[in-house]
């Protein structure tokens, strides 16, 4: 019997834009894209050179070969016991790892406690003998791993054994750690004098596959045979579940293009007549639970709770699918019973625990909005897939604006104007008297569904406008 938390990963790596999709219970719950030129520094390991050690900040600026120097705090240097200036000198080479992306004029924050992550372990070459094993691992397996680690690692190294290690044999864990250590040795043997990137893990497929506990991955489909082979070699415990599939898109519930259209649309319709309206702003994301399509529209507190819980499940899915982050405010259907609100909060916290990205559900504000935050790891998908909305005036505003523009004194004898058909209908509704009766010029108006509002296309003599209309084959209306 398949576990409830099992998932299928579908990876499209042939194209320049690489895509990763997570399917759980037959539905897409996560979609990640990796575009050329948008590579991340986070997690990358660099050979750096100390440019300056700031005594006041007790931090160093490190040249890592990027446009901006990285920033290394004293607490991020595991072998430093006193002032940072005693551990690092200007011009010294040091291996560092980016822990966040650069922001504005600031370079990437760095750490000298470098990590190489695997499915079950994390290797730390400079951890000064610190060996950490998940508290959830107990009994003989934990004792066996502790004994092996103490013998295998020297005082300068360290590692972390993840909870997922409890689901595999100790030998699998040991093999992965040895593999990570060998990868590290190969990396540092690269001959280089200039600051540069030594190691960077591809977001898709490597980091994407590693994001999920190995025991929850039912299948990994990849559209490139070479990538499939490489991934099997990197994650041998997953090898039997990694499969090359020429047409991975055929294994999705919808096409990539349809999925993108769903993600950028602010409206999400639920089966029970309730809908969600999701709007991103600079400061936060606001989600409105709308029940106007539900017959009757008058809910008891119990009914409102049932509807809100259904909406909460979809909200959890949409937040993860769209990769929304930062402050998120949710306007659920109003409930005047405090106990029902507590039930909704409890359910929301339970749902958000299923999200691999760290999320905090704080509670209800005084205005009855549910307040939560989600860790920002990358830009939201709607912001990557679609332009921000253009601000356009209403048809009514445009009609009155055109009237004012035409009433201004003009030297031309005639004007040719293109208007959208909807604009024409709006003008007739708002202004029954022709605008042409108020101005001295003669108007030639044509309808064009390809423009927004109106455009004054030509101004000139009456003969010039008539010739242009005839030459272009326009159908025009003199009464406007």
Residue 428 to residues 263, 342, 416: CA-CA distances in angstroms?
38, 54, 18
Contact 72, 112 (CB under 8 A): yes
The answer to whether position 2 is within a domain reads: no
Domain that holds residue 78: 45-111
Do 24 and 65 belong to one domain? Answer: no
- Which residue shows structure tokens 């309730």? 274
- Does residue 256 belong to any structural domain of this protein? no
CATH of residue 230's domain is 3.30.420.40
Q: How many CA atoms lie within 13 A of 268 on its CB side?
A: 24
Q: Which of 111, 133, 164 is at the close of a domain?
A: 111
For residues 102 and 151, membership in a common domain is answered with no
Per-residue pLDDT of 111-127, as tens digits, reads 999 999 999 999 999 99
Residues 277 and 366 in one domain: yes
d(CA 168, CA 95): 32
Same domain, 327 and 363: yes
259 domain residue, yes or no? no
Q: Same structural domain for residues 378 and 399? A: no
- Same domain assignment for residues 282 and 369: yes
pLDDT tens for each residue of 13-29: 998 999 999 999 999 99
pLDDT value, residue 294:
62
C-alpha dihedral sign at 72, 78, 83, 85: negative
281 and 328 in a single domain? The answer is yes
Residues 368 and 415 in one domain: no
Q: Is residue 479 part of a domain?
A: no
Residue given tokens 């066996």 in the structure block: 144
Q: Has residue 205 been placed in a domain?
A: yes
Domain assignment present for 301: yes
Q: What is the pLDDT of residue 1?
A: 38
In a domain, 133, yes or no: yes
Scan for tokens 């042409």, then name that residue: 436
Q: How far is CA 48 from the centre of its chain?
A: 29
Confidence at residue 2, expressed as pLDDT on a 0 to 100 scale: 45
Residues 56, 125 within the same domain? no
Quickly list DSSP for 370-410.
Answer: EEEEE---S--HHHHHSPPPP----HHHHHHHHHHHHHS--
**Which of 355, 385, 415 finishes a domain?**
385
Q: Which residues of the chain have a pLDDT value below 50? A: 1-2
Residue with tokens 């998940």: 134
Among residues 111, 131, 160, which one ends one of the domains?
Answer: 111
Report the number of distinct structural domains present in the chain.
5
From residue 191, give the alpha-carbon distance in Å to each of 178, 187, 199: 23, 9, 13
| 376, 418: one domain | no
Same domain? For 276 and 376 the reply is yes
Domain contains 258:
no
Cis peptide before 364 (omega within 30 of 0): no
* CATH code, domain with 100: 2.40.50.140
pLDDT score, position 62 = 96
Phi, psi of 259 (to 5 degrees): -60, -45
Helix axes 421-430, 395-407, angle to 10 degrees: 80
């Amino acid at each position: 019997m398949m576990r409830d938390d099992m998932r299928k990963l579908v990876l499209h790596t042939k194209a320049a834009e690489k895509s990763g999709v997570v399917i759980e219970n037959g539905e897409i719950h996560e979609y990640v894209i990796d575009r050329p030129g948008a590579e991340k520094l986070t997690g990358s390991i660099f050979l750096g050179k100390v440019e300056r050690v700031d005594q006041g900040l007790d931090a160093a600026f490190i040249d890592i070969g990027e446009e901006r120097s990285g920033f290394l705090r004293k607490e991020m240097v595991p072998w430093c016991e006193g002032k940072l200036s005693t551990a690092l000198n200007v011009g010294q080479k040091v291996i560092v790892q980016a822990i966040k992306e650069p922001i504005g004029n600031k370079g990437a924050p760095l750490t000298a406690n470098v990590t190489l992550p695997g499915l079950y372990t994390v290797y730390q070459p400079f951890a000064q003998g610190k060996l950490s094993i998940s508290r959830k691992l107990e009994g003989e397996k934990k004792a066996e791993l502790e004994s092996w680690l103490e013998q295998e690692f020297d005082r300068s190294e360290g590692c972390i054994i993840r909870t997922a290690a409890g689901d595999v044999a100790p030998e699998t864990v040991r093999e992965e750690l040895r593999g990570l250590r060998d990868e590290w040795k190969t990396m540092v043997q690269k001959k280089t004098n200039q600051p540069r990137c030594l190691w960077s893990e591809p977001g898709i497929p490597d980091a994407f596959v590693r994001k999920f506990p190995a025991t929850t991955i039912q299948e990994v489909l990849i559209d490139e045979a070479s990538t499939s082979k490489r991934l099997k070699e990197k994650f041998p415990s997953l090898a039997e579940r990694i499969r090359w599939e020429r047409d991975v898109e055929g294994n999705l519930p919808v096409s990539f293009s349809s999925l993108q259209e769903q993600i950028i649309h602010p409206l999400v319709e639920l089966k029970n007549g309730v809908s969600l309206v999701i709007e991103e702003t600079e400061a936060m994301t606001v989600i409105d639970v709308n029940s106007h399509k539900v017959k009757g529209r008058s809910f008891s507190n119990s009914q409102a709770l049932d509807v809100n819980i259904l909406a909460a499940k979809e909200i959890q899915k949409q937040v993860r699918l769209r990769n929304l982050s930062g402050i998120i405010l949710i306007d659920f259907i109003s409930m005047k019973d405090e106990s029902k609100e507590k039930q909704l909060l409890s359910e929301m916290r339970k749902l958000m625990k299923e999200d691999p990205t760290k999320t905090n559900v704080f509670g209800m504000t005084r205005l009855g909005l549910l307040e939560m935050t989600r860790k920002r790891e990358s830009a939201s998908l709607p912001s990557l897939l679609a332009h921000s909305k253009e601000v356009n005036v209403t048809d009514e505003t445009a009609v009155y604006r055109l009237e004012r523009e035409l009433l201004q004194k003009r030297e031309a004898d005639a004007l040719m104007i293109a208007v959208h058909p909807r604009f024409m209908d709006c003008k007739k509704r708002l202004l029954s008297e022709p605008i042409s009766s108020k101005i001295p010029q003669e108007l030639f108006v044509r309808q064009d569904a390809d423009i927004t509002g109106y455009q004054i296309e030509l101004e000139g003599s009456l003969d010039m406008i008539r010739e242009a209309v005839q030459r272009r084959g326009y159908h025009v209306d003199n009464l406007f």
